[in-house]
Structures are given as C-alpha cells and as structure tokens.
C-alpha cells in the first residue's frame, strides 16, 4: 500500500507542473496537487522510513511547527510580487513548487507520526481553516490581485480561489477528521 501511495503521489507532480502554466487557476491547481494531494500520498509512502521528514528531523516535523511553516509558505507565495516572479521566471516557479511540496510533505509526515496524533488533528484543522480563508480572500477579492494574468484576470482569480478553498480546505479537513477518528478508536480500544 505504501509503494502505491508513493508512486501515486510522485506521478501527480508532473500533472501539477503541467497545469502551472495555465493562468491563475492552473497555477492554483498545481499548488493544491503539490501540497494537499501529492504530499500526503508521498508522506504516507515514506512513513517510518529513512526519507520521512518525521524520522529525519523530528523536532521540525512536529505538527504545529510544520503547520506554521506550511502556512508561511502558502501565504507568502500568494503575495502578488512573488506570484508574478513565479509566473515569469522558471527558477522561481521551481522554487515555489518545491517549497509547496516540501512544506506539505513536512506537515503530512508530522501528523502521520503516531506520537503526534492529537496535535496532528489540530494542525490539520488549523491548516484547513487558513487554506479556506486564503481561498476565500483570493476568490472574493473585488479586483484582480494578480493583474499579470491578462484580460480575464478577475474571473481566473475567482476560480483559482474556489479551487484553493475546495481542494485545500477539504483535503486538510478530511485529513483532520480521519486522524480524529483514528485517535478516538485507539482511545476506545485502550479503555475496553
């Protein structure tokens, strides 16, 4: 199961990179694939192995610090000046996508570690909230924040905000709820 998860996560990355050149919506889809879809699959695939961030860097890969790092990276890359750099400079795009994947992998690896189950639930739910908030801010902005996307920039931005709100918010919410279910099941088994 872990090999399938790892292979699926790695296979999704080129799809995200291909979408990143298709306006703000494609770029947002690439972000969400990296941080909210591929990262948890890869994290599960390398869990407990030598490549798992929770194994390699246990202090950094704790749920709440990892959630903070992920939030700074996600919000930072949505500052219009950085967004413009990533859209027009291939080196910045590579750095952006790599940082999204690294931050997602760090967070998901941290929350999947058995010693962090309760904190992992909190980290995923907080991440769901900030992803939803940023998606709503981007999607509901009254003017284009990313004007370099052309004549339909506002419509493209609104759709991108919805993609972030739905994919990012839902992926982390479902992850948090699944972790909570596992935590409650483990506690019930310990009581019985």
pLDDT at residue 149, rounded to an integer? 58
Report how many domains make up the chain: 1
Residue 53's pLDDT band, with cuts at 50, 70 and 90, is: confident
pLDDT at residue 92, rounded to an integer? 92
Mean pLDDT, residues 170-184 taken together: 87
Q: 63: domain range?
A: 2-191
Q: How far is the C-alpha of 52 from the C-alpha of 49, rounded, in Å?
A: 6
- CA end-to-end distance (rounded Å), the chain: 29
pLDDT at residue 142, rounded to an integer? 92
Residue 36's pLDDT band, with cuts at 50, 70 and 90, is: very high
Q: Which residue in 67, 174, 167 sits closest to 110, CA to CA?
A: 67
Looking at residue 142, the DSSP 8-state letter turns out to be S
Residue 183's pLDDT band, with cuts at 50, 70 and 90, is: confident
pTM: 0.86
Calculate Rg over the CA atoms of the chain: 17
Q: Which residue in 6, 13, 127 sits closest to 63, CA to CA?
A: 127
Using the predicted structure, report yes or no on whether residue 56 has a pLDDT greater than 90.
Answer: no
Tens digits of residue pLDDT in 11-30 = 999 998 888 878 889 989 99
Mean pLDDT, residues 36-58 taken together: 84
On whether the CB atoms of residues 143 and 154 are closer than 8 A, the answer is yes
Q: How far is the C-alpha of 114 from the C-alpha of 163, rounded, in Å?
A: 31
Tens digits of residue pLDDT in 120-165 = 889 999 999 999 999 999 999 999 887 665 668 889 999 999 999 9
């Amino acid at each position: 199961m872990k090999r399938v998860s790892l292979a699926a996560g790695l296979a999704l990355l080129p799809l995200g990179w291909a979408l990143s050149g298709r306006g703000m919506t494609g770029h947002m889809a690439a972000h969400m694939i990296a941080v909210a879809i591929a990262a948890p699959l890869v994290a599960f695939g390398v869990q407990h192995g030598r490549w798992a961030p929770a194994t390699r860097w246990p202090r950094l890969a704790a749920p709440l610090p990892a959630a903070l790092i992920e939030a700074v990276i996600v919000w930072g890359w949505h500052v219009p000046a950085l967004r413009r750099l990533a859209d027009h400079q291939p080196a910045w795009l590579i750095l952006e996508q790599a940082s999204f994947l690294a931050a997602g992998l760090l967070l998901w690896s941290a929350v999947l570690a058995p010693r962090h189950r309760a904190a992992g639930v909190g980290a995923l739910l907080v991440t769901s909230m900030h992803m939803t908030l940023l998606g709503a801010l981007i999607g509901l902005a009254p003017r284009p924040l990313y004007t370099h996307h052309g004549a339909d920039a506002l419509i493209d931005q609104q759709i991108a905000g919805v993609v972030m709100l739905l994919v990012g918010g839902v992926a982390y919410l479902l992850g948090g709820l699944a972790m909570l279910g596992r935590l409650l099941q483990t506690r019930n088994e310990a009581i019985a």
